[in-house]
A and B are shown apart, each in its own frame.
Chain A
Amino acid sequence: MLAYHLRIAAKSLRRTPVLSALLVVGIALGIAVSTAFVAAYHTVAKDPIPSKSDKLFYVTLDSWNPERPWDDDHPKDPPNQLTYRDAVSLMASTIPTRHTAMFKTELTVFPTTREERPFRARTRVTFRDFFGLFDAPFQYGGEWGKDADAAPQAVVVLDHETNQKLFGGRNSVGKQVRIEDRNFTVTGVLAPWYPKPKYYDPHNDSFETPEEIYVPFRWTLPMKFVTSGNTSGWKSYGPDFEDKLESESVWVQFWAELDNARQRETYESWLAGYVGEQKKLGRFARPLNNRLWDVKAWLDWVQIVPRSTKTMLVISLLFLVVSSVNLIGILLGKFLARSPEVGVRRALGASRRHVFLQHLLECELVGLLGGAVGVLAALPLLHGIERLTRSPDDPQLLQLELPILAAGIVLALIAGLVAGIYPAWRICRIPPAAHLKAQ
């Protein structure tokens, strides 16, 4: 019977092609706008690492000024990064499955050929666990050995593009790259990798691509690496580089992988013990405020989804509702014009349910067609949003992923339902005799 209703619905749409096109366009407009904004929202709000987002924790400690909170608007919040000395100390724990302190810097890379000019590469200064923590995929080789985390070793991991630039995309493991004033040996090359958002360090541009090169954290002191991210401080310190490393300024991020609740509790106790020791040394004057943020909580805290994106999403969905509601009148008129046929069908045995279902399916067919057209139209719209909000040099961020396409079609079916449920209900409630009289 469903197939029969669908066939009748399709015939009905073909009977009035202009009106049907109008209905489809009405739904398509709403779907195009809402799908584009749902896609934009999805890109910024989705779980960037669903396989382990509940096991990865961003670590914060409150070493801030006892006289004044880090954030006046949210006085209970700790600083969003760690001091260098705390980050290094936390690396002493053996409790997490993986953990890393890290920050972003910029280093000069000298290409192997004389024809190429040196360039500044966005660099992540980190520990080897970084790659396993965030599932960074390797195309060649792998992360550096444990020794390079213990003492400075001139090893480096390149991203796909940098390897392309320096070695033409060939396997460069074991090859030398000159960075600043010394040669580093390549231990691994990452496959193309673009987590959206860049959740492990969203402080400056949460949607930029990951860094181009990765060097061991232990080079921070010998090479005097300076963060190119945010630094917040409340206490002055001396002019030397070592003074900054010993200061109370926060500029290092810290992540730990904790696989279960017990591991987490143990780690929390360990952190409390560490802060307790530091208190005895005269630091951490504020109340104990250690936090472990899982990925979702972390992204919520740093407000990864801008308010404007949420607002646009709501407006686009309202636009779809208005588009659907506008179609109610057109559908009602279309259905009432077909009243005699409904009368005949009722006389021949169609129940109210049959009539309702037939007309609702016609609306859903309109919804489906409108959804298909709308989803296609969302592509250029999404491209337009990307061009308006990002620089032309940025890599493509917004994409219509399969779940969003499916969501667009589902939204279209809901829109068809919203538009059609009242006209279908009205037409099925009219007594058959009244339908026949209408001819």
Chain B
Amino acid sequence: MIRMKNVSKVYRTEHVETHALSSFTVDIAAGEFVAIMGPSGSGKTTFLNIAGLLDTFDQGTYLLDGQDVSRLSDRQMSKLRNEKLGFIFQSFNLIPDLDVFDNVDVPLRYRGMGARHRRELIEEALAVVGLTARLKHYPSQLSGGQQQRVAVARALVGRPRLILADEPTGNLDSAMANEILDLLERINGTGTTVVMVTHDPELATRAPRQIHVLDGRMLDLAAEVSAPLFRPGAHASEPVFGA
């Protein structure tokens, strides 16, 4: 689903060059549930942005679902995002003056679907996250957990092949966080690839595969599944490799 090879991304200001990703190589198969971990500034959000076609990269190749994205126009990338990707953000990013129905409707609007078909998909997605009774509620009338469930519904309403979740539980208490993880597992269970950035090692262990990002490079922990990923008591983002 995601195949990146030697992808580099440098942010430049007048005086400073920051290497956000350096020769980043990763291969995530369709249907996988992957947790991306790493300390702040390690490059995991940059990876997610590039994977989600929200940002460009300077070097390397990136095949999304077998398609080389490096030469796509803005329109083509937008279409790909709309049809193949779903996004979940840490701070939910619901649009405040749209009600639940309209928030979930946003990606379908850009797909140019008819009203009836959109309604069916929206009601189905809200049923998955258990919010069919809140169609007309505005984000400010919902709890944090409910808002994130709306965001999950919005991410999956277009039936994407890949869901990219950036700290989806970062603003939730542990009970709510587990609920969201349950949802992501269920979505993954239907064959949708899920890539989740998280700081929480416990939540990360619920993903069958963890990738650790450090200084813009990837450390794949797939082979370490049987070994403890983190030292007990260590900081969530602290890598344990080489210990």
Contact between A348 and B110, CB atoms less than 8 A apart:
yes
A349 contacts partner chain B, Cβ-Cβ < 8 Å: yes
A178 contacts partner chain B, Cβ-Cβ < 8 Å: no
Residues of B within 8 A of A349 (CB): 78-79, 81-83, 107, 110-111, 158
B54 contacts partner chain A, Cβ-Cβ < 8 Å: yes
A351 contacts partner chain B, Cβ-Cβ < 8 Å: yes
Which stretch of A106-114, A337-345, A383-391 is in the interface?
A: A337-345
Contact between B75 and A353, CB atoms less than 8 A apart:
yes
Question: Which residue of the partner chain A has the closest CB to B112?
Answer: A1
* Contact indicator per residue, chain A 406-424, by CB within 8 Å of chain B (1) or not (0): 0000000000000000000
Interface residues on A, range: 20 to 34
Residues of B within 8 A of A433 (CB): 49, 54-55
Contact between B97 and A346, CB atoms less than 8 A apart:
no
Which stretch of B88-96, B180-188, B229-237 is in the interface?
A: B88-96
* CB proximity of B144 to chain A, nearest CB, Å: 16
A395 contacts partner chain B, Cβ-Cβ < 8 Å: no
Residues of B within 8 A of A344 (CB): 87, 89, 93, 95, 106
Q: Which residues of B (42-73) have their CB < 8 Å from a CB of A?
A: 49, 52, 54-56
* CB proximity of B62 to chain A, nearest CB, Å: 14
Question: Which residue of the partner chain A has the closest CB to B105?
Answer: A4
Residues of B within 8 A of A15 (CB): 96-97
* Contact indicator per residue, chain A 8-33, by CB within 8 Å of chain B (1) or not (0): 00011011000000000000000000
Taken together as a complex, chains A and B put the C-alpha atoms of A439 and B93 apart, in Å, by 9
Q: Which of A341, A352, A432 contacts B55 (CB 8 A)?
A: A432
Contact between A348 and B87, CB atoms less than 8 A apart:
yes
A285 contacts partner chain B, Cβ-Cβ < 8 Å: no
Residues of A within 8 A of B96 (CB): 15
Contact between B54 and A436, CB atoms less than 8 A apart:
yes
A347 contacts partner chain B, Cβ-Cβ < 8 Å: yes
A169 contacts partner chain B, Cβ-Cβ < 8 Å: no
* CB proximity of B44 to chain A, nearest CB, Å: 13
Residues of B within 8 A of A122 (CB): none
B98 contacts partner chain A, Cβ-Cβ < 8 Å: yes
Contact between B111 and A351, CB atoms less than 8 A apart:
no
Taken together as a complex, chains A and B put the C-alpha atoms of A360 and B73 apart, in Å, by 22
Interface centre among B83, B85, B106, B154 (most CB of A within 10 A): B106
Question: Which residue of the partner chain B has the closest CB to A347?
Answer: B87
* CB proximity of B236 to chain A, nearest CB, Å: 22
Q: Which residues of B (104-124) have their CB < 8 Å from a CB of A?
A: 106-107, 109-112
Taken together as a complex, chains A and B put the C-alpha atoms of A346 and B82 apart, in Å, by 9
Contact between A4 and B109, CB atoms less than 8 A apart:
yes
Residues of B within 8 A of A439 (CB): 91, 93
10 additional contacts (CB under 8 A) given A345-B110, A347-B54, A349-B79: A1-B109, A344-B95, A346-B54, A347-B85, A348-B82, A348-B107, A348-B154, A349-B81, A352-B75, A431-B54
Query: Taking beta carbons and an 8 Å cutoff, which residues of A are in contact with B?
Result: 1, 4, 11-12, 14-15, 340-341, 343-354, 431-433, 436, 439
